[in-house]
Amino acid sequence: MGILSNKRLLLSLLVGFTLVYPFLFGQSGYFITLFVMISIYVITAMALNLLVGNGGQMSVGHAGFLTVGGYTVAILTTKVGLPLLVVLPLAGVVTGVIGLIIGLPAVRLKGHFLAVATLGFGISIPQIALNWNSLTGGYSGLAVSRPDWLSNNLSFFYLIILVLVLVTWLIHNILKSSLGRAFVAIRESEVAAQSTGVNLSFYKTVMFMISAFFTGIAGGLYGYWFGYVSPNDFTLATSFLLLAMVVVGGLASIPGAIIGAVIFTILPELTRSFVGLNNIIIGIAVVLAILFLPKGLVSITEFFKKRSQPITVKEGTDRTGGMVKDANI
């Protein structure tokens, strides 16, 4: 049994690497921040995958939920003075309520109509943040102060990893529950799901709420890590980047969302000196994934196994009545 097929061994290696990661790079601020951004995008990609991959509901505005989460943390920390352990869950709750507001009318839409509706949400949130000066600070943004016990980057790094593990465990259990099975039933056939007693309006709304809740937490972590949020932090391009993570990594797959988030967080860093190259590579990657790996990179081993298997022709009778023997091609 190979390492890739041994899930426990692979998980142990991943946990071990995560724990020692800051020390592998001499506690470099750049590399720690890169890992933090990967963690934030992993949480967001898993939340989006729950909606798009498992639920079959298109969303092109998840960057808006990240913005809401970030501003919720900034407002509750700076203007209200609430502690982190209260603010971070509230960031998810507030964003979840916004997801509920978006989800209620969206349940009547599907396909490209739903995509356009969520696109409008993703575009409007930064504009609201820009113009609501009294609450969001407008163009200046808002500062976010960390608590004293997390002023050190290393301690906050491990808190983010803890949140990442907790969110991954929660999403995994949601997908394995009856709730997750209802999401998949809606994705496969809304008519069939409704005929078995699945309340489409209720479950679609719950999908948006759960996805927005976890995305809001990711946005809150972003605000705490960088100590600042602004309307330009998460643009429409971020929403398309998140979709690319899900499609290329693998729809309806937690490992797929993780793979996609890792690749498309590191890629912009590698292509930073070449203007426009990052977007070109992302576009090509999405097209190639759709054409050759519709299940995403998470299924690449399965793809090569199928290519390497010989084509077997079973014994039978051909059209002329002659016998055809087994053959391997």
User: 324: which 2 tokens?
Assistant: 């055809």
Higher per-residue confidence, 262 vs 9: 262
Residue 109's pLDDT is what? 82
Q: Which residues, in sequence order, are CB contacts of 209 under 8 Å at separation 6+?
A: 96, 97, 99, 100, 103
pLDDT, tens only, 86-124: 999 999 999 999 999 988 887 788 878 888 889 999 999
**DSSP states of 197-260:** T--HHHHHHHHHHHHHHHHHHHHHHHHHHHTEE-TTSS-HHHHHHHHHHHHHH-TT-HHHHHHH
- 230 pLDDT tier (thresholds 50, 70, 90): very high
pLDDT at residue 307 greater than cutoff 70 = no
Q: Report the alpha-carbon distance of residue 289 to residue 51 in Å, rounded.
A: 19
Range with lowest mean pLDDT among 36-45, 59-68, 96-105: 96-105
Strand 312-313 versus strand 327-328 pairing type: antiparallel
Residue range 197-214: average pLDDT? 94
Q: Report the alpha-carbon distance of residue 299 to residue 306 in Å, rounded.
A: 11
pLDDT at residue 151 greater than cutoff 90 = no
Other Cβ atoms less than 10 A from the Cβ of 126: the count is 20
Residue 213's pLDDT is what? 98
User: 317: which 2 tokens?
Assistant: 């009778």
Residue range 264-280: average pLDDT? 89
Q: Report the alpha-carbon distance of residue 278 to residue 272 in Å, rounded.
A: 8
**DSSP states of 22-68:** HHHTTT-HHHHHHHHHHHHHHHHHHHHHIIIIIT----S-HHHHHHH
pLDDT, tens only, 206-226: 999 999 999 999 999 999 999
pTM over 0.85: yes
* Mean pLDDT, all residues of the chain: 88
pLDDT, tens only, 173-190: 999 999 999 999 999 999
**Residue of 226, 236, 203 lying closest to 103 (CA atoms):** 203
Strand 228-229 versus strand 323-324 pairing type: unpaired
Residue 308's pLDDT is what? 64
Residue 93's pLDDT is what? 97
Residue 48's pLDDT is what? 97
Residue 315's pLDDT is what? 53
Residue range 157-167: average pLDDT? 95
User: Please, are residues 163 and 217 in contact by the beta-carbon 8 Å criterion?
Assistant: yes
Strand 316-317 versus strand 323-324 pairing type: antiparallel
Residue 326's pLDDT is what? 47
